[in-house]
Amino acid sequence: MGACAPAVRPPSFAPREDVPIAGLPTTQAGWPQSEWWKRYGDPQLDRLVDLAMRGSPDMEQAEARYRAAMRAVDSARAELNPQVRGLVSGNHGYSDVAVKGELPGAAGSAQRFQLNPGSSWSNSGAAGALATWDIDLWGKQKDAVSAAVGQARAAEAERASAATSLQYNVVNTYYDWQAQQARLAVARHAAQSSAAYRELVELRVHGGLDDPTNLDQADGQLAQQRRAVAQLEGASSLDVVQLAALAGVSPRDFGTLTPSALPTPDASLPADARLGLLARRPDITAARWQIEASSKNIDQARKAYYPDVSLMALGAFLRTYPDLGSGTRTDLSLGNIGPSIQLPLFSGGRLRAQFESAQAQLDSAVAQYDGAVVQAAGQIAQGVTTLQMLDDQRVQVDRQYEASAAQRTKAADRRSKGLIDDRTWLNADMQLDQQRDARLQLASQMLSANLSLIHALGGGYYADDAPALPAGNAGKDSPR
């Protein structure tokens, strides 16, 4: 009876079992912990992450999708259980009967007759129950349950993906705010030095000791420093607004944020990143569950060609009072039980279309999985390479800072001995501020790249029950 069912075609893409990131440094053992941001020891950051996890609109949407997927599992499982439907009805009726006709063989008026038994009122009531149970002989409904479970587990992994993304964005924005605060302190000090330098130049110009163009240059330098302060203040305010948007609260709910020193980033990579990543990325886990759900949908669509076998039982009772007041009534009791078999004989291509659609969904799910794996590998490789590049730059930036610091120290010593005036010392001080700002910018970039790498490594997520991947033939299709 199921000979018309088509053969299952393997997916056209072979799912990847490994992450192609060979050749990267592997010096650190272990992975980010589930609450990886707490290793920085910043209670203020911990409070912001907790606040965001409780009030984020993105998390509310992910939670709603997960709850909907779990209710879909409950609905699919309920189809495996017997169903009993009850019926109770009552009727009150009125009838007025008139019978007219002709008698065969009679002549004249005797041929016609008319009966008028009169009108009557009647009551009737019925009660019954119908029980049905699809015994799921071929496992089609169980496949539907498995597909719903796969979708629910995918929604669960997507919820984890939303959580890790939210945590990363909160931490990254928070430390960008901290970097802006540190740079703002340096910029304000540089603006004060530039203002003092301008005052000295103005006195010398008015005294006829300097060319007036020197004052114009000092004005431009002061305006540039004040512009840098305004830019950093604006960037700092935007970070606070972004944090509030991520948490779904008002910036006033944060209270007073206190600046602190930036933590030191870590550029190392876990030794088992190539294989362990498959269980550490929630988006990869979600893609694997989507493959599982699509595989079960194929099984369900294929078994739609098989006959449906179910058990049915009916019990009913009918009582009628055809003429109220006459004392007569009619009672009817009935019951039956037996199997019911339904077999699709002609569907007009519907079953074939459903099967092909399920097959295409599996191919798409496998392709999305492969894309997620390759994207994850690319993000990790990019993150590690960026950290290495910035670490190389840090060596040169530190040298420039040390040179400027030494120059400022010498200028301060010469100034204390009266060998130079304050202009030379202020110039050295402003040069050192520029190197301080360069170091802060580089530290912020390295920390941001480190946070991005933590996010690419799964952000502390781990799934120990990811489903096995289906076998597939890359580049060729098997007979249908």
Say what the pLDDT of residue 321 is. 81
Distance between CA 42 and CA 171 in Å, rounded?
11
The pLDDT of residue 28:
39
pLDDT, one tens digit per residue, over 162-210 is 899 999 999 999 999 999 999 999 999 999 999 998 998 888 888 888 8
* 3-class secondary structure, 406: helix
- 60: how many CB neighbours lie within 10 A of its CB? 13
Task: Output the six-digit token pair for 268.
Answer: 């190392």
Q: What is the pLDDT of residue 183?
A: 95
Give the span between the Cα atoms of 348 and 196, in whole angstroms.
Answer: 89
Q: What is the pLDDT of residues 23-73, one digit of tens each?
A: 333 333 345 677 889 888 999 999 999 999 888 888 888 888 888 988 888
Q: 290 by DSSP, 3-state: which? A: helix
> In sequence order, which residues have a C-beta less than 8 Å from that of residue 467 and are 6 or more positions away?
150, 153, 288, 289, 291, 292
The low-confidence residues of the chain, meaning pLDDT below 70, are: 1-5, 7-32, 103-118, 266-279, 324-326, 461-465, 470-480
pLDDT digits (tens, 9 = 90+) for 301-318: 888 888 888 888 989 988
* Alpha helices for 207-249 (secondary structure H): 212-247
Chain centroid to CA 83: 36
Q: Please count the CA atoms within 13 angstroms of the CA of 466 that sit on its side-chain side.
A: 24
Question: Which domains does the chain show, CATH number per domain?
Answer: 36-93+121-456 (1.20.1600.10)
Which two structure tokens, joined as six digits, stand for 136?
């799921």
Phi, then psi, of 371 in degrees rounded to 5:
-65, -40
Tokens at 260, concatenated = 């602190």
Position 476 scores a pLDDT of 43
Please name the amino acid found at residue 299. D
State the pLDDT at residue 433. 93
Phi-psi region of 458 (alpha: psi -120 to 50; beta: other; left: phi over 0): left
CA distance 21 to 17: 13
Query: Closest by alpha carbon to 37, among 166, 159, 161, 160?
Result: 166
Those residues with Cβ within 8 angstroms of residue 50's Cβ, 6 or more apart along the chain or in another chain:
none
3-state helix, strand, coil in the chain (%, to 5): 60, 15, 25
Backbone torsions φ then ψ of 408, nearest 5 degrees:
-65, -40
d(CA 62, CA 165): 12
Which run of H or of E encompasses 259?
none
- Return the pLDDT at 117: 65
Task: Tell me which DSSP letter residue 270 carries.
Answer: B
For residue 186, the Cα-to-chain-centroid distance in whole angstroms is 39
Strands in 213-345 per DSSP E: 308-321, 330-342
Q: Specify the pLDDT at position 448.
A: 93
Q: Which amino acid is located at 387 in the chain?
A: L
